[in-house]
Amino acid sequence: MSKNPVCSQIVKLARTHGPEPRGINLVNHRKQALVIVDTQVRYVEDVNPLHKQDQFITNVQSLIGRARAAGAPVVFVQHFRDGEAPGQIGLEGIEVHPAIAPQDGEPVIPKRASDSFYQSDLGAVLRDLKVEVLVIAGLQSELCIDSTCRSALSHGFDVVLVSDAHSTWDSHGLTARQIIDHTNAVLPELAHPDQAIVAKSTDKVVFTAQ
């Protein structure tokens, strides 16, 4: 497939005008929270498996275990579709998947938009925890992960996007692998005067003692 010159120019401009890399200063000695987005049974056990589903679950489990061991807050976000509500009887698959389920006391934040902050308690919960850096993983790469990472900047948080701990399905003529790679490449290029996004693989994420 030949390269689209317009797309190439857009990428070139993004790299020119995007933020300068800020390195590991994003996480060292600053309070982090692990934010797990939409890892619900209805998505993880969809008849069409997620891209590298088993590895995705393993990576999220690894992040959760290391965050808990370091005393970093683990926050879960749970998506409700139109017509659904928390506590509603008969909703199938709405719960967080048991392989990566929250422990007692860990916040589970309901939301209705791709942006996990929109009309939800996520921002308030994170501020109460005095968090500065969000380590973000979950579903779906091009929708709720993308929107939540972007919104986090505007809410005053730096972001570590865990590059191999978000996933999706083939969509709109693109493979899931292409979508994931694009998400990992583009989000760190976003320009913001105060905040930044870095993409790091699961094995490179370090949770400092809180």
The whole-model pTM stands at 0.86
Hey, what long-range contacts does 45-53 have (CB within 8 A, 24 or more apart)? 45/93, 45/97, 46/169, 48/169, 50/139, 50/167, 50/168, 50/169, 50/176, 51/167, 51/168, 51/169, 51/175, 51/176, 51/177, 51/180, 52/167, 53/167
Per-residue confidence (pLDDT) for residue 117, from 0 to 100: 98
- Identify the pLDDT of residue 25: 55
**Predicted pLDDT at 175:** 97
Annotated domain spans of the chain: 32-85+95-204
Q: Mean pLDDT for each consecutive 10-residue tract of the chain (210 residues)? A: 44 42 55 97 90 97 97 96 78 91 96 97 97 97 98 97 98 96 98 96 89
CATH fold for the domain made of 32-85+95-204: Rossmann fold (3.40.50)
Answer whether 132's CB lies under 8 Å from 29's CB.
no
- For residue 196, the model assigns a pLDDT of 96
